[in-house]
């Protein structure tokens, strides 16, 4: 399963960078440096490293919980292209926005994860998931909105933690666009589901 493979690779690369400051500096996206050193690979590698274990685990639990459903729905090829493409799109936006800021750096899979969350919620509007320490199921749509709200709040309250919270909004938009591209009627079905009128 591609979702599991992405989780394993992300855990492995992140753990490697936790123990190696050299590798972290090599893989993190620093727009000011990219513009000068032309290390364009960091637009993608930054999506496979994280700030700490909590950041990594939170992202990968969210990714796995939603990603396995999306992978089954769209197939492995479209799924991989969408996930990697979303990481690249959110990274490019961050790069262009922070070209002249030598102090700005970003890392984390959050843009890609947010894309997967929102695409999955559109394909499965009735999806619920269980989280550790919460004994009741959380509707997927509510989780996705709370996830986005959390990242928006974090982007306003913590500007220098190295986590690209702003990428989450663009990731969500990529997820919505991806779902609409594959199924232009999906919004109507989601609304009927939310209103309880079925298909």
Query: What pLDDT shows up at residue 23?
Result: 93
Q: What is the pLDDT of residues 69-98, one digit of tens each?
A: 999 999 999 999 999 999 999 999 999 988
User: Mean of the pLDDT values across residues 121-148?
Assistant: 76
**pLDDT, position 193:** 66
**Domain of 91?**
1-195
Listed residue (51, 132, 116) closest to 79, CA to CA: 116
Lowest mean pLDDT of 51-60, 131-140, 152-161, 168-177, name the range.
152-161
The CATH number of residue 102's host domain is 1.20.1540.10
pLDDT band at 133 (very low <50, low <70, confident <90, very high): low
Q: How many distinct structural domains can be found in the chain? A: 1
| Per-residue pLDDT tens over the stretch 151-185 | 677 666 655 555 566 788 899 899 999 999 998 88
Distances (CA, A) of 57 to 54, 75, 103, 188, 198: 5, 25, 26, 34, 35
Please list, in sequence order, all residues whose beta carbon lies within 8 angstroms of the beta carbon of residue 58, skipping any fewer than 6 positions away: none
Give whichever of 24-33, 124-133, 181-190 has the largest mean pLDDT.
Answer: 24-33
Share of the chain above pLDDT 70, in %: 86
Buried b (16+ CB within 10 A) or exposed e, 95-113: beebeeeeebbbbbbbbbb
Across the range 112-120, mean pLDDT stands at: 93
């Amino acid at each position: 399963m591609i979702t599991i493979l992405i989780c394993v690779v992300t855990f492995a690369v992140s753990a490697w960078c936790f123990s190696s400051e050299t590798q972290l500096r090599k893989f993190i996206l620093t727009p000011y440096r990219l513009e000068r050193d032309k290390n364009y690979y960091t637009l993608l590698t930054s999506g496979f490293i994280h700030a700490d274990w909590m950041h990594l685990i939170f992202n990968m639990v969210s990714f796995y919980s939603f990603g396995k459903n999306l992978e089954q729905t769209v197939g492995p090829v479209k799924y991989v292209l969408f996930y990697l493409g979303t990481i690249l799109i959110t990274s490019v936006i961050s790069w262009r926005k922070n070209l002249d800021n030598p102090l700005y750096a970003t890392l984390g899979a959050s843009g890609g994860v947010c894309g997967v969350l929102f695409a999955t919620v559109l394909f499965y509007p009735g999806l619920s998931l269980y989280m550790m320490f919460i004994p009741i199921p959380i509707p997927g749509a509510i989780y996705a909105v709370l996830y986005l709200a959390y990242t928006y709040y974090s982007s306003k309250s913590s500007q220098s933690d190295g986590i690209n919270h702003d990428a989450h909004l663009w990731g969500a938009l990529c997820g919505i666009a991806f779902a609409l591209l594959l199924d232009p009627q999906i919004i109507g079905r989601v609304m009927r589901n939310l209103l309880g009128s079925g298909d």
